[in-house]
Amino acid sequence: MMLAFALASFSLNSFAQSEKETNIRSKAPTWVCEEGYWVVESNIKDKLNHIVYFYNDQQQLIGRKELTGVKLNLRKQKTKKMLKESLESSMQNWASR
């Protein structure tokens, strides 16, 4: 009887712990937009010209932005947040049409 109680409490604790780990892992970074995504097209030889395409969750092109004379470092949080803001504004413009 005591052994069954110990096993039951152990399994409940491990279930609660795995649920916490799942919630922590599923939390998206701050630069991820929930309604869409962006794709950057760059040229290896010309690092100052880029084209950013914005898509919604249905893979529909909702906007396009050309960046000239700008060097993008896609590893930086600041750049990713800027692209997220541009995506969100493109989504609002697309929704208002």
Query: Domain residue spans in the chain?
Result: 36-96
Q: Pick the residue with more confidence: 66 or 27?
A: 66
pLDDT at 33: 85
Residue 68: exposed, middle, or buried by beta-carbon count in 10 A (0-12, 13-18, 19+)? exposed
Q: CA neighbours within 13 Å on the CB side: how many for 36?
A: 24
pLDDT 10s digits, 36-82? 999 999 988 999 999 999 999 999 999 999 999 999 999 999 999 99
